[in-house]
Structure 1
Amino acid sequence: MEELSAPLAKRRKRDEPDGQGRSEDGDLGGDPDAGVDLISLLPDEILGSVISLLPTKDGAQTTVLSSRILAAHGGPARCLSLRSLYGKFDAWFGSAALNSLEHLEFGYAGEGRHGMDPDPRPPRPLPPSALRSAATLRTAYISGSDFPAAAAAPCLPRLTKLTLHSVAIAEDVLHRLLAGCAVLESLGLEDSRRFNAVRIASPTLRSVGFSVAAETELVIEDAPCLERLMLLDPYSGPKIVKVIRAPQLKVLGYLSNKITKLDLGPVIIQETMVVSSTASLRKVKVLVLESTGPNLDTIVGFLKCFPCLEKLYITSFLRKNMKNTRRYNPQEPIECLDLHLRYVILNQYQGMRPNVNFAKFFILNARVLKAMKFGVVVGCTDKWMENQHRRQQLDHKASPDAQFEFQRDYCWRNILYNNHVRDLPTIDPFDGSIC
């Protein structure tokens, strides 16, 4: 596969078009080889490698060279990567080398996160010809761009993976764009804006990653193949999530109190609390959420709603008056604890009584537990861990084979930037960013 890539370089004042150095009076100087363009004699693959390895300040001088490489490319190029760039690139997309392009990565430089950066650079207009190869594209990553409202949405009949990061796109344009993706399997809407609601109906979609403006509403109308619904940033939106039909949903998270309402049909959750449950959701295997306290009663409510849960990630926010004295009643068995729950990951663990009692409930009652991991935010000394082992009653664990591991707090805040969330073959996309 032929691949074209451009450096992470800021556009500065260009050199002379032929790349020759000149003295102040216009002469080429005393070097007899000064007018000879030896660089262009190198093969394209070597030129591309050289450009991609240059430091930013040196790569800034290669704009003319990069466009020269693309113009000379015999094609067909299957992959084009233009990430963190400055300048105008509309002419680049018009190259005949890109007529059968299958993989596109395009993004302007300097685009801050809209939810976190106090002064983000506004998205720049998407080059009109950026999606010229829409008929052949299989994957597309577009960042820092402003989709024109009047533009006709392209038909993307072969696109299986689409990520829009820090883009501005009107609601109707977004829906027309998604309607043109007949075989889409993975959709990422990350730090994007200018729409109030996203309604998704797709017979092929398997994964949705969402991180948008706090007031946005996400509605999964009909997604018979959807397996992963990932709300990537606990500090942003959506505010309301409604899943009308997604019978194959297996991975759900990150659920935070920023989500005012999560309507899963038989289960309704408000601000990380189950408020209504008429039936259980047995397909869900991985759940990621936060809990203030942590609140054991609330988490047990989730275990009952998702009885076949195998992996539970919890970021806890300590509340010192939380008791967590609940005991397991064998007369009211919890299927998840008896048969399925194999991994528990606790982040923000401080080792105080609410944390200890919370963890001990799983240690003493999760009968098939394989591992429990603690993301510790205090000094994790040998003496401290020995004390924790004693207080948690590890000698009385319900699962004889269970392993327990204390580490410095896991980086759950990096979920949004972790490529695992876009990797469809990965069974648990949160695994690489949390544990």
Structure 2
Amino acid sequence: MADGGASLSTAGHGGVDRFSALHDDLLRHIITLLPIRLASLDRALPGWPQLLAVKRTERLTLRDRFNRSESSSVRLLPAGILRCDSLQLLNLDYWTFPSGAEVLLPHLQALALTRIVISDRDLECLIAACPVLKSLALFVNSSKHVRLRSKSLIGCTLVGPSRVEEFTVTMVDTPLLERFHLFRPLNGVEIRITRAPNLRVLGYLDTRVHKLQTGNSVITSDTMVRASTVVPSVNILGLTVNFGVFAEVKMLVSFLRYFTDVVTLHIESALHDPSVTADERSGENHAKFWQETRPVCCLRSHVKKMVIHNFRGDQNEFEFLKFVAMNAQELQSLLVVSQEGIVSSADKVTEIKDELQCLQFPTGISAVLPKASNLTIDDPFQC
């Protein structure tokens, strides 16, 4: 439901409330799907949030499209929405969360919050008040510290605010959490894994802007791996790295050492970030580093499928693949994916294929293909 479009005035009907007499299914469609000016809805049907509860509404999308300029205030979400105990799916977009409001959402299974002004504490309380919540999506909200504490949560998608200097997400107690997706690189993001024993899919971790803490250990490029801090449950991992930046290459190796049982590995070869200074970005060949790096457990013993996204044929990309060829004993499939437009020359594609063949992988190379993505299948990073 969104501002703009239709009016629900009762003019012409003597001010009589004819909405309550409608069949429940029809009323749900009118309230949930039609674009409405909220002010007119308030005039035509005072107490409409309570009516949603009375009519046992199960799915609700509530978007406020009015005054979306930077200077405009964000309308306060009607608190009654949070007490509609029949809701199973709730999508909220561009609202101010009523701080301290009572939340009663015992049947809610899917929650999406987009551009919501909400405090860290209110967000934590909201999640806790949804005892059967399975899917959580958070897009560019105002909270700076997301604490996930849920006995039912299975999947979480996060696009954090891009303007904050520090942003933290902590998996405090999520025994059933299987998937955690991060989209769009963010500055100063820290991911803390305290208790997520069933975390199976994680990505994309960005080697430049993401910090990772497992248990009490903060992972750096020089951190020594301890058995108590590895995350063996993850078997599908996505990482982003600029192979031309030495610090990112070292962090890539550190990340890989902590995810010991990865079976499917996706690596996005990042384009040059204009914010990276000349001193930070190194165009030198990193062959010596890869030659001196000791074997990585997951690459040596577990990875069966690897996908390199946005491959451009740079020498440092090939140096990494040489390391993989020498160490990935269980590798069965390597798919090198060039983003459409990056490798547009047929001669360049042929050159890349020839150089890949020279690496002498025991199982060969699958293909060099355009990039695509389908998040509906089991592997959310699959081409």
Q: 1:74 to 1:278 in 2, by over 3 A?
A: same
Instruction: Trace 1:277-296 onto structure 2 (pairs within 5 A).
Output: 277-279=225-227, 280-294=230-244, 296=249
Indicate which of 307, 313, 335 corresponds to 1:372.
Answer: 335
Letter in 2 for 1:139: L
Counterpart position of 1:303: 256
Tell me if structure 1 keeps the 8 A contact 2:53–2:83: no
Q: 1:274 to 1:210 in 2, by over 3 A?
A: farther
Tell me if structure 2 keeps the 8 A contact 1:304–1:334: yes
Tell me if structure 1 keeps the 8 A contact 2:107–2:132: yes
Tell me the secondary structure at the aligned position of residue 354 of structure 2: helix
Tell me if structure 2 keeps the 8 A contact 1:78–1:98: no
Q: Does 1:169 align with 2:115?
A: no
Counterpart position of 2:278: none
Counterpart position of 1:248: 198
Q: Mark the runs of 5 or more structure 2 residues left unpaired by the alignment.
A: 273-280
Tell me the secondary structure at the aligned position of residue 62 of structure 2: strand
Q: 1:378 to 1:103 in 2, by over 3 A?
A: same
Superposed displacement of residue 350, structure 1: 2.2
Tell me the secondary structure at the aligned position of residue 386 of structure 1: helix
What is the TM-score normalised by the length of structure 2? 0.77
Letter in 1 for 2:260: P
Counterpart position of 2:127: 178
Letter in 1 for 2:360: H
Q: Whole-Å Cα distance in 2 between the matches of residues 168 and 212 of structure 1?
A: 13
Tell me if structure 1 keeps the 8 A contact 2:3–2:64: no
Counterpart position of 1:262: 212
Give CA-to-partner distance per residue, 1:236-263, whole Å, 9 cap, x none. Answer: 56x3322211111112222225646321
Tell me if structure 2 keeps the 8 A contact 1:166–1:192: yes
Of 383-392 and 275-284, more deviation after overlay is shown by 275-284
Superposed displacement of residue 403, structure 1: 0.5
Tell me if structure 1 keeps the 8 A contact 2:208–2:241: no
Tell me the secondary structure at the aligned position of residue 361 of structure 1: helix
Q: Whole-Å Cα distance in 1 between the matches of residues 213 and 317 of structure 2?
A: 29
Instruction: Trace 1:371-390 onto structure 2 (pairs within 5 A).
Output: 371-376=334-339, 377-390=341-354
Q: 1:245 to 1:385 in 2, by over 3 A?
A: same
Tell me if structure 1 keeps the 8 A contact 2:5–2:35: no
Q: 1:430 to 1:390 in 2, by over 3 A?
A: closer
Letter in 2 for 1:147: F
Q: Does 1:203 align with 2:166?
A: no
Tell me the secondary structure at the aligned position of residue 336 of structure 1: helix
Give CA-to-partner distance per residue, 1:246-295, whole Å, 9 cap, x none. Answer: 1111122222256463211275335xx46342123211112222212255
Letter in 2 for 1:145: W
Q: Whole-Å Cα distance in 1 between the matches of residues 205 and 71 of structure 2?
A: 26
Counterpart position of 2:4: 10
Tell me the secondary structure at the aligned position of residue 98 of structure 2: coil
Q: 1:17 to 1:221 in 2, by over 3 A?
A: same
Counterpart position of 2:96: 146
Q: Does 1:105 align with 2:58?
A: no
Q: Mark the runs of 5 or more structure 1 residues left unpaired by the alignment.
A: 1-5, 20-66, 113-117, 412-417
Q: Does 1:156 align with 2:105?
A: yes
Superposed displacement of residue 345, structure 1: 2.9
Superposed displacement of residue 86, structure 1: 4.6
Letter in 2 for 1:370: S
Superposed displacement of residue 75, structure 1: 0.9
Tell me if structure 2 keeps the 8 A contact 1:363–1:392: no
Tell me if structure 1 keeps the 8 A contact 2:109–2:135: yes
Indicate which of 167, 170, 177 corresponds to 1:219.
Answer: 170
Counterpart position of 2:317: 355
Indicate which of 110, 119, 124 corresponds to 2:75.
Answer: 124
Q: What is the aligned residue count?
A: 355
Tell me if structure 1 keeps the 8 A contact 2:64–2:95: yes
Indicate which of 292, 312, 334 corresponds to 2:266.
Answer: 312
Q: 1:173 to 1:166 in 2, by over 3 A?
A: same
Q: Does 1:337 align with 2:299?
A: yes
Identity %: 24
Tell me if structure 1 keeps the 8 A contact 2:6–2:34: no
Tell me if structure 1 keeps the 8 A contact 2:127–2:149: no
Q: 1:266 to 1:276 in 2, by over 3 A?
A: farther
Counterpart position of 1:235: 186
Q: 1:110 to 1:212 in 2, by over 3 A?
A: farther
